Amino acid sequence: NEQKIIWSLHNIMREDPCRRFAYGITIENTNLRLWLSNRAFLAVTEPIDFLSDFDDVISLFYSFGSVTDVGLGWDPTIERISIRDKIYYTFSLHHKDQLMKFTTTRPITTYSADYMVGRGTRVYEAR
């Protein structure tokens, strides 16, 4: 089960350039664990017995329900768009007090994003 969550978090971070980090939750028997993956590390909590520590579990899910998209790991400077069933990304950058937007036309290289820990560098051709 732990290998599955690690692989799932790895896939989220590898496949989606809109993510800065990702959370995961595993439940085994009565134990619940929270996982956090970003480009620097993978962290996991000590197990919580969700049958006896239900106040902690309620607080956890309440917190997730009230956090913003940015707080859930979404990068507000990247927007995924679909044109004719093909996925592109629009990057918003500030330069000298001016907002500039660039839309990808094709990926040049994304192999650095394959690693769970590292910069996750992607290079796109954009307009």
In the chain, domain spans: 1-72, 78-126
Q: In sequence order, which residues have a C-beta less than 8 Å from that of residue 97 and are 6 or more positions away?
A: none
Q: Give the distance from CA 35 to its chain's centroid.
A: 12
Confidence at 12, pLDDT banded by 50, 70, 90 = confident
Q: Is pLDDT larger for residue 78 or for residue 3?
A: 78
Rounded mean pLDDT of the chain?
Answer: 90
Cα–Cα distance, 83 to 94 (Å, whole number): 25
Q: For residue range 20-64, what is the model confidence (pLDDT) as tens digits?
A: 999 999 989 999 999 999 988 889 999 999 899 989 899 999 999
Check: CB of residue 5 under 8 Å from CB of residue 23.
no
Backbone angle region of 111, left / alpha / beta, with phi > 0 → left and psi within -120 to 50 → alpha: alpha
Residue 123 pLDDT: 92
Task: Write out the two tokens for 123.
Answer: 């290079």
The neighbour count for residue 56, using CB atoms within 10 Å, is: 14
Highest mean pLDDT, choosing among 2-6, 12-16, 44-48, 107-111: 44-48
